[in-house]
Structure 1
Amino acid sequence: MFGILFRGMAVGITETVPGVSGSTVAMILGIYERLLYSLSSLSTKHRKEVLPFLFTFGTGMVIGFWFSFRLIGYLLDAYRTPTLMFFAGIIVGFLPYLYKETLSYSKGSLQIKHYVIIFLFLSLVIIGQLLGDMNSIDLNNLSLGDYVFFTISGFFASTALVLPGISGALILTILGIYEIATASLISFHLPIVIAIGTGIVIGVLFTSKLIRYLLANYTIETYAAMIGLVSGSIYAIYYNLDGLYDTSTLIVSMITFLGGIIFLIVLKQSQTYKFD
């Protein structure tokens, strides 16, 4: 029970950081498939079977989410580049494991079409980052269309819970409403919170089934897409780094980057894949 709560906290913490996917962390922690199954079962007769797990995991996510707002928010404000480089190290350390798992489904080698998929999804994240500043919303004069946009944004952000490589914070950043969403949550601006939350709930119920179907029927292609998205998230982190660096920042960032890689390796080696 505590293990599930801890995993939920870890996922909740990363969901507030643009460029770091909560579902990637769920994969690293060995709980991704169970989470995907549980979410996709909410609209079936098996919902009672998965509710205890989802309640425990969800409680951990909420705790981690709020903790992250305080700690990660402070670290990003005070030590933005070293903090983001730590997460970049985690992702770089995770990629070989993801690639190895992909190869295990493809009998040892990938086809050209799989590399094309990797490139396309990597490009998707990069293009999304480059277009991320195009949208602007006047909070003092919100229209019905703005609330519809918040709901749609929440729908797309929900994919972060089921698709490794994309974070909810990153999607909201790409859509230009990340700061609006976080400020609204902290200040309890319920109309915006409800609009985004509604989109997230609808999205989770839909995308969890879609991803399960893709993993079951197009396993290698889906994993190739994950590699592209996870790789693209490295660029997303780089895109969000501070533009000014001094020697001390570079040294500390290098240390935190290596720390992220080491953290990931230790975590994978200690992973038991058992759900307590």
Structure 2
Amino acid sequence: MFQWKNILKGMTMGVSDLIPGVSGGTIALVLGIYQSLIAAINGLFSKEWKKHVMFLMPLGIGIVIALLTISHLVEWLLVEFPQPTFFFFLGLIIGIIPTLLKDIDYKKNFSPIHYVLLAVGAMIVGATFFVKENELATVMSQLSFTEYALLFFAGWIASSAMILPGVSGSFVFLLFGVYPTVVNALSTFNLPVILTVGSGIAIGLVITSRFISFLFNKYKTSTYALMIGFIIGSIVVIYPGVAGDSFLLFISVLAFGIGGMSAYGLSYFEVKKTAVKLNP
């Protein structure tokens, strides 16, 4: 069944993928659709592919709408109000951590090895803070086969990052030096670049989702621990620091609070909805 509300969820994921350091996978967790998303991508080649397409279609529509229409707004916010923008996403990310810990019942299920995995995940993602992106990268023009191949490969790797909570696909584009080209292509509707990057993303999503699904099925608690670690580590990467006057600080704190309350509200709604389904 086509779920119109998933278009809005897809738009939220699309916006997050435009923010360097923010993971679409994390936002999927905030929205309560992460495991359904993984299952749907895996199910595209199963006998029930129609059901999975109906789940993914509105998400895809929302992501495309966000990428093609909101990219200008995101660029403007990152240039004019970077600190409040990043603080909003910090609130979203921090706000989902208690829910994830509750979902896995960490007090009961976590053993010392799970805390080690959590710490390792946090350190892996946190370490990317010290990796310098290609700041000299500019928009590519008159692309050659080699540059198209680079865009395809960057899309492939970025998609793996997009689907992993705490790991930013946009940051991968920055590391490859293609972020300006990708954002410009979305803003100007450069179809060859969009299709090239999109093809890489599609292939990467299918491969990575199968691996994540395997981990959830075989090592659910360990996978949760590692992903929570990824999310905690992303806090270090996203944190923009505090600068400016008291008004900017106030706006940043307000944005952080709105992000945190949004994450809590979405999580509460999803839990309540699940409870209603289990106890009609």
**Fold match (TM-score > 0.5):** yes
C-alpha deviations, 1:216-248, integer Å up to 9, x for none? 00111211111111112111212xx37742222
RMSD: 2.5
TM-score, normalised to structure 2's length? Answer: 0.86
**1:107 and 1:259 mapped to 2: Cα distance?**
28
- The TM-score, its normalising length taken from structure 1, stands at 0.87
3-state SS, counterpart of residue 267 of structure 1: helix
* Stretch of structure 1 that moved more, 66-75 or 36-45: 66-75
State the SS of the aligned residue for 1:262. helix
Q: Structure 1 stretch 128-137 or stretch 61-70: which is displaced more?
A: 128-137
- Could you tell me whether the CA contact under 8 Å between 2:67 and 2:186 is conserved in 1? no
The residue type paired with residue 215 of structure 1 is F
How far does residue 160 in structure 1 lie from its aligned partner after superposition? 4.3
1:26-175 aligned at under 5 Å gives the runs 26-102=28-104, 104=105, 108-134=108-134, 139-140=140-141, 144-175=145-176
User: Which consecutive residues of structure 1, in runs of 5 or more, have no partner in the other structure?
Assistant: none
Partner secondary structure for residue 133 of structure 1: coil
The 1-side partners of 2:48 and 2:66 are apart by 27
Shift of 1:95: 1.1
SS in 2 for 1:223: helix
Alpha-carbon spacing, 1:187–1:3, altered in 2? closer, same or farther (3 Å): closer
Contact 1:7 1:57 survives alignment (8 Å)? yes
Given that 1:129 and 1:236 are in contact with CA atoms closer than 8 Å, whether structure 2 keeps it comes out as yes
Q: Is the 8 A contact 1:16 1:68 kept in 2?
A: no
Identity %: 32
CA contact (8 A) 2:18 2:71 kept: yes
**Contact 1:18–1:167 (CA under 8 A) maintained in structure 2:** yes
**Is residue 132–residue 175 contact of structure 1 (8 Å, CA) maintained in 2?**
no
Instruction: Quote the offset at 1:97 in angstroms.
Output: 1.2
Q: Write out per-residue CA displacement over residues 141-198 of structure 1, whole angstroms, 9 at most, x where no aligned residue.
A: 7554433332221112112453222232233234332222111222233443333222
Report how many aligned residue pairs link the two structures: 271
Alignment of 1:224-239 (within 5 A): 224-238=225-239
Contact persistence 1:155–1:201 (CA under 8 A)? yes
Cα 1:188–1:51 change in 2 (3 A) is same
CA distance in 2, matches of 1:136, 1:190: 24
- How far apart are 1:136 and its partner, in Å? 5.8
- Partners of 1:133 and 1:16 in 2: how far apart? 15
> C-alpha distance in 1, partners of 2:40/2:117?
27
Superposed CA offset, 1:4-59 (max 9, x none): 22222222222211222222222222222221111111233332232222222211
Read off the aligned partner of 2:113 and give its amino acid letter.
K
